[in-house]
Chain A
Amino acid sequence: MDSAGNEAARPWIENASTTYPCLIDREHVVSALYNMPNVPNAVWIDESGIIVRPAEAAGTSEAWRTMDRQTFSLDKDALVTIGARRSAYTAAVRDWVERGDKSPHALSPDQVRRRSRGLSEEEALATANFRMGLHLRETGRADLAEGYLRRAVELRPESWNFRRQALALGDPAAAGGPDFWGAVDDLGEGRYYPEIEMEGMPTDTVPRA
Chain B
Amino acid sequence: MVYLLSESMATIIYEQTRSEAMGAAEAQGDLWVGLDQLEPVSGWALKPEGLCRRDECVPVAGRQGATDGDRVNLSEVARLLGQPILHEPEVDTWLVGPRASAGLASIEAPDFTLPDLAGKAHTLSDYRGRKVFLVSWASW
Contact = CB atoms under 8 A, between A and B. Distances in A.
Interface of A: 1-2, 4, 6, 8-13, 21-25, 27, 29-34, 36, 39-51, 54, 58, 93, 96-97, 100, 109, 112-113, 116-121, 123-125, 127-129, 131-132, 135-136, 139, 141, 144, 148, 161, 164-165, 167-168, 172, 175-176
B140 A175 contact: yes
A117 B103 contact: yes
A113 B104 contact: yes
B135 A58 contact: yes
B86 A129 contact: yes
A24 B13 contact: no
A47 B131 CA distance: 5
A2 B13 CA distance: 19
B112 A33 contact: yes
A172 B21 CA distance: 35
Given A119-B98, A144-B90, A161-B138, A23 B116 contact: yes
Which range holds the interface residue count of chain B?
Answer: 35 or more
B140 A22 contact: no
Contacts, number: 181
Interface of B: 13, 16, 18, 82-86, 88, 90-91, 93, 95-105, 107-110, 112, 114-117, 122, 124-125, 127-140
A127 B16 CA distance: 12
A109 B107 contact: yes
A9 B95 contact: no
A51 to B, nearest CB: 5
A165 B100 CA distance: 22
Nearest to B134: A43
